[in-house]
Amino acid sequence: MRESGDLRFLLILREHASLLAAARTLGLTPSAVSQRLQHIERGLDVHLVDRSSRKLRFTEEGELLCQQGLGVIEQFDTLLEEVRSRRGGMIGTLKINAPLGFGRRYIAAAAAEYQQLHPEVDVVLALSDQPLTEIGERFDVGIHIGELALSNLIGYTIAPNARFVCAAPALLRQYGVPETPEQLAQLPCIALRENNEDGTLWHFKKGRTTRSVRVQPKLICNDGDVVHQWAREGRGIIVRSEWDVAADIASGDLVRLLPAFKLSDAHVIALTHARKGLPVRTRSFMKFLQERFQPLPPWRQPPQ
């Protein structure tokens, strides 16, 4: 006996006490019912039903299996009903994983507000600088910035996000404003090393032309906040996401460089492990995020 269906089959036999009646209920022929019963008995190596007369008589072992099995089936059905009710309601635990910087600035507040709107949902937010594909612990929603390496995760766009080359005004007064991407190789730059990506090779597009520049950074860090702060202090030129530097560009603390040359976008996406069968709380949270960042995300809204 390998599945609950065998137990249900035996309970139907016991209820009807005849092969013919059980066959009608199951939508099978009497011979098919008999063959399945024989298969179950062979699997257990136990005689369960005496078929010597027209009426089925369960042996002591068969009766024990049915009596105990009924409780098992009832518990199993109760469990399934609970799972279905949880899937249909805003209840349970929602596990969210997000990058450190973006998570602190945007996802933490969103997660707390979502939990307040849905008190029966427990929110667990984990901030990490590890790529989602390398995180062993399962999450319900993962927030990712930029392109995703090959994986079986399903992505949903949350918000648009470009990437800019930036520097502090003080550094530009000292070294001048670069006019082409190639000039960056001769200027002090800062590299961010994250998601196992090569942070020293910067790719630009202008029309149909692509240019790649290998910068020679004197400062490298795996923390975006540190890289951002170094740039504000005039220590080098950086490539950063729009969400992180838009306010500094608007205030003049940083200057966007080479606006005619486009870097690849790094849109904000939400990731799940499956496309179908997601709990309501998971689908609801992703919709909540999309509505929160649309029609314009905070970094594209005019200063208040």
Q: Are 93 and 139 within 8 A, CB to CB?
A: no
Place of tokens 């929602």: 94
Predicted pLDDT at 17 = 75
CATH (residue range 92-160+267-300): 3.40.190.10
Q: Which CATH number fits domain 163-257: 3.40.190.10, 3.30.565.10, 3.40.50.300, 3.30.70.20?
A: 3.40.190.10
Distance CA 224, CA 173 (A): 24
Q: Count the Cβ atoms, other than its own, within 10 Å of residue 165.
A: 22
Q: Which residues of 145-160 are buried (b: 16+ CB within 10 A; e: fewer)?
A: bbebeeeebeeeebbb
Question: Which ranges constitute the DSSP H helices of the chain?
Answer: 4-16, 19-26, 30-44, 60-87, 100-102, 108-117, 169-175, 224-232, 242-251, 280-292
What's the order of all strands across the beta sheet hosting 163-167?
238-241, 163-167, 255-257
Instruction: Please answer whether residues 191 and 270 qualify as being in contact, where contact means their C-beta atoms are separated by less than 8 angstroms.
Output: no
Q: Tell me the C-alpha distance between 280 and 271, whole Å.
A: 15
Q: Are 239 and 181 in contact (CB under 8 A)?
A: no
What's the pLDDT score for residue 115? 96
Backbone angles phi, psi at 202, to 5 degrees: -105, 130
Q: Where in the chain is the domain with CATH 3.40.190.10?
A: 92-160+267-300, 163-257
Q: What is the CA radius of gyration of the chain?
A: 31
Say how far apart CA 120 and CA 122 lie, in whole Å. 7
**First vs last C-alpha separation in the chain:** 68
- pLDDT at residue 46, rounded to an integer: 87
Domain 4-85 = CATH 1.10.10.10 = yes
Q: Is 292 helix (H, G, I), strand (E, B) or coil?
A: helix
Boundaries of CATH 1.10.10.10 in the chain? 4-85
Model pTM greater than 0.85?
no
State the CB neighbour count (10 A cutoff) for residue 28: 16
Contacts of 21 (CB under 8 A, 6+ apart): none
Helix, coil or strand: residue 143: strand
Distance CA 278, CA 79 (A): 18
CA distance linking residue 152 with residue 53, whole number of Å: 57
Q: Using one digit for the tens of pLDDT, what is the confidence trace for 137-194?
A: 578 899 999 887 656 788 899 999 999 999 999 999 999 999 999 999 999 999 998 7
What mean pLDDT value characterizes the chain? 87
Q: Say what the pLDDT of residue 56 is.
A: 81
Segment-wise mean pLDDT, segments of 10 residues, the chain, 304 residues: 75 81 84 87 86 78 84 73 63 90 96 94 88 64 83 87 97 96 96 81 92 94 94 97 96 97 94 81 92 92 78
